[in-house]
Amino acid sequence: MTDDVIIRREGAAGILSLNRPKAIHALTHAMCDAMSDALSQWADDPAVQVVIVEHAEGRGFCSGGDINLLRQSALTDNGASGRAFFWSEYRLNHQMFTFEERSGGKPIVAFMDGITMGGGVGISQPARFRVATANTRYAMPETGIGLFPDVGGGWYLSRLKGHVGTFLAVTGGRIDGADCVWAGLSTHYLPTDALADAKARIAAGEDIATVLNALSETPPPSKLSAHADDIARHFGQPTLEAILSSLSADNGEWAQKELAALRTKSPQACKVSLREIHESLKNADFAAEMVMEYRIAARVLVLPDFAEGVRAVIVDKDNAPQWQPATPEGVTEAMVDAIFAPLPANEEWSPL
């Protein structure tokens, strides 16, 4: 157990409350294991009829995984502790994705109030009910640090309409709660002052859909939806080079802004993310998705772009990463193939 996640029972609800406010509730290995243990117990506990995932205090639901831990692993132990973290985190993601079926129909409700990025997406998207607010800031920003949208990101993003998922995957674009509802990433939009009431009523055993529908408000217009045609046209292109070319040929303000953003990302990470989006649609189930993502994670963790990306964005904050390779053309199909290749049989990821 760990103080970084508060695990408690309230009425009919088992509650997982992330509690690392200074790190915007970034997930650690211990937090993943503690949540996984709780879910295993609650699945068979008749007194628990619903699981609520929330954050305790501070500005955000969950900012992702513990990036500094992962970077230290890449630099000091050839990625061993980083792979161990991914193994447990992905097991938690899969456990949440299959929890309702395994538990005989107990739903998960995730309150995505505030920053919901990376690992925070992984523990909110599996929920049947995903609540956004005016504070929600959602992103899969991994290509900016040499990673890729993991924790099931390939599964979720590949299934969004109009290539919105490809756009979010490669640009790392941040969207708000209204955008999440429009894209299908959230099921409800609640005023922040209604959250406590919603949680209390759900814990008291009231019908979840009825409670959330009654407390929901109409979100403001989605800014993302205003660019749906642009996203479909540019990010429906088959390769990174074609996306960049399409954006370059569009003199519009939005296209030029996204082009500039995309050029700051790791070319390797962008090509890996595009392959992931394409391959995810072929996966038969979520377990197959996690097997694929673990293969990718195990390899990109120790490639130069990850440690360099974290250095540039989080450690030194000079925002001037020196990517290897430096250009999309330098990232060959053979390089990407090697990242996606099966691991030795005794190293492949497996669910609980």
Residues with a catalytic annotation lie at 65, 119, 142, 150
Give the dihedral sign, CA 306/80/53/3.
negative
Task: Beginning with the edge strand found earlier in the chain, give each strand of the sheet holding 175-176 in spatial order.
Answer: 115-117, 137-139, 175-176
Burial of 237 (0-12, 13-18, 19+ CB in 10 A): middle
Instruction: Classify 147 as helix, strand or coil.
Output: coil
Whole-angstrom distance, CA of residue 283 vs CA of residue 280: 5
Other Cβ atoms less than 10 A from the Cβ of 320: the count is 11
Yes or no: say if 200 and 12 are a contact pair by the CB < 8 Å rule.
no
Whole-number Cα distances in Å, 69 to 76, 279, 321: 10, 28, 19
Yes or no: say if 39 and 95 are a contact pair by the CB < 8 Å rule.
yes
Q: What angle do CA 269, 311, 124 make, to 5 degrees?
A: 55
Yes or no: say if 112 and 139 are a contact pair by the CB < 8 Å rule.
no
